[in-house]
Amino acid sequence: MNPEKDPDVQLMLAVQRGDEAAFEALFRKHVRPVVGFALSFVGSQARAEELAQEAFVRVYQTRSRYQPAARFTTWLYRIVTNLCLSDTRRVEHRVMTEPHTRGGGGEVVVDAGDLPDEQGQSGEERLLAHEDLDRVRDVLDRLPPQQRAALLLARVEGLSYDEVAKSLESSVSAVKSLIHRATVSMRDELAKDD
Amino acid sequence: MWCRWAQRDLTALVDRELTPSRARRVRRHVDRCEACAEQLAGLQQTVRRQRELLSRLNEAAPEAPVDAMLRRLRSEIREPEATQQARRWWLSPQIVAAVAASAVAVLGLLRLSEPLLVAVGLEDPPEIVAEKPDLFVDYTLFEHLDTIEHLEVGSAPPTDSRG
């Protein structure tokens, strides 16, 4: 997409001109996916929200340096990814200490007993059927951070490999390799239930 | 060797991220290689399911309290700006003008007071006096300056003990 046709780019250029409403619009549009992305790295909703907030503080503070060379999300996720990867390098945040919880504090697990028995399916198919999201989360967390970041940016946030490369400050060929390895690793880990 | 080369590109092929020429080369190989064709079919299924799983994972995450976060964000952005402005009070135009005017006044006073400072010994006389004292030694000349100025031609000059 031509960056100039990206509505978020136009909003960011308005932020540069001092438009606070434009900044609020960008925040409201992107904060939830950013929190979701950060949650994959820090394992704590509270910490994910802190990182998301820090990302938007940086977006605001560096608004004068923003240049619409790519889609807004490419620039946003560059900031977010840097914060998340920095956070994972800290020992105290490397290990997930909290389950991913809904507001009430319970684990996000569907009771398999409520679902029909589906014999003959692969581990991955059973996971799809039973929505064992904690298992998926666990597999995702075991990916190296760079692979995890590349996979999520491409598969969840919908960035192209070129945009992922810009967000990770890497090359397209490196991103291609990261995503391939992440895809295969995740497939093999989920298949271990077979 | 071709298989190893092609398999590295299979995920990108599924994601439609290969250049057209490279995609054609990979597909040509896959058409001729059963193992790679099977690998490709498996990856297509894997990528589709992973997109679904990751999307569900994203949706299952707790709702972020957007309004509360926005309030915190606003205070975090405004507080540093206010703090920076308070720290930079000394850069305000009024302060800068006052300091500049004071500096000019002080320099002017120092310049004007230079002879006074020399007379009372707080400052050394100008260098030329130290370098060429002979120019300033004939004070007798200066003592009789008035007389010299009014000297008429033909009259005898005043005598001087130094000759």
Which segment, A21-25, A88-92, B101-105, is predicted with the most confidence on average?
Answer: A21-25
> What pLDDT is stored for residue A113 in this prediction?
40
Q: Nearest 5 degrees, angle CA B59-CA A113-CA A187?
A: 50
B163 falls in which pLDDT band (50, 70, 90)?
very low
* Window from B42-46, B97-101, B145-149 with minimum mean pLDDT: B145-149
State yes or no: pLDDT of A83 exceeds 90: yes
Average pLDDT over residues A111-136: 57
* Residue B101 vs residue A23, higher pLDDT: A23
Work out the mean pLDDT of chain A and round it to a whole number. 82
Smallest Cα distance from A85 to chain B, Å: 19
Hey, what are A59's tokens?
């977006």
Average pLDDT over residues B130-159: 59
Q: Which residue has the tokens 């679902």?
A: A115
> What pLDDT is stored for residue A112 in this prediction?
39
Q: What is the pLDDT of residues A151-174, one digit of tens each?
A: 999 999 999 999 999 999 999 999
CB burial of B99-122 (b: ≥16 within 10 Å; e: otherwise) equals eeeeeeeeeeeeeeeeeeeeeeee
**Does the distance separating the beta carbons of B57 and A133 come in below 8 Å?**
yes
Residue B134 to residues A160, B38, B63, B121, B162, Cα–Cα distance (Å): 89, 110, 95, 21, 15
* Cβ burial, residue A12 (10 Å; 0-12/13-18/19+): buried
State yes or no: pLDDT of A101 exceeds 70: no
Residues of B in contact with A53 (CB under 8 A): 69, 72-73, 76
Q: What is the pLDDT of residues B16-60, one digit of tens each?
A: 999 999 999 999 999 999 999 999 999 999 999 999 888 888 887
Which residues are registered as beta bridge partners of A146?
A: none
> What pLDDT is stored for residue B7 in this prediction?
87
Smallest Cα distance from A92 to chain B, Å: 22
**Within a 10 A sphere around the Cβ of A27, how many other Cβ atoms?**
20
B98 falls in which pLDDT band (50, 70, 90)?
confident
Hey, what are A49's tokens?
């929200």
Q: Which residue has the tokens 């780019």?
A: A9
Which segment, B33-42, B120-129, B141-150, is predicted with the most confidence on average?
Answer: B33-42
Q: In angstroms, rounded to a whole number, what is the distance separating the alpha carbons of residues A160 and A150?
A: 10
* pLDDT over 90 percentage in chain B: 31
* Residues 6+ away with beta carbon under 8 Å from A47: A38, A87, A93
Q: Considering only alpha carbons, which residue of chain B is nearest residue A152?
A: B54
> What pLDDT is stored for residue A109 in this prediction?
41
> What pLDDT is stored for residue A103 in this prediction?
40
Q: Which of A60, A32, A48, A46 is nearest to A156 (CA)?
A: A32
Q: In angstroms, rounded to a whole number, what is the distance separating the alpha carbons of residues A137 and A148?
A: 11
**Does the distance separating the beta carbons of B63 and A128 come in below 8 Å?**
no
The pTM is what? 0.66
Cα maximum dimension of chain A: 60
Report the complex ipTM. 0.74
Query: What is the DSSP secondary structure assignment for residue B113, as one 8-state letter?
Result: T
* Window from B5-14, B59-68, B119-128 with minimum mean pLDDT: B119-128
A134 falls in which pLDDT band (50, 70, 90)?
confident
> What pLDDT is stored for residue A3 in this prediction?
74
Q: Considering only alpha carbons, which residue of chain B is nearest residue A35?
A: B64
Q: Residue A8 in contact with residue A72, Cβ under 8 Å? A: yes
Residues of B in contact with A28 (CB under 8 A): 66, 70
Nearest CB among A151, A156, A177 relative to B55 is that of A156
> What pLDDT is stored for residue A72 in this prediction?
94
* Window from A21-30, A98-107, B22-31 with minimum mean pLDDT: A98-107
Q: Residue A97 in contact with residue A44, Cβ under 8 Å? A: yes
Which segment, A107-116, B22-31, B147-156, is predicted with the most confidence on average?
Answer: B22-31
Side chain identity, residue A32 = R
CB burial of B32-60 (b: ≥16 within 10 Å; e: otherwise) equals ebeebeebbeebeebbebbeebbeebbeb
For helices B34-60 and A172-191, what crossing angle results, to 10°?
80
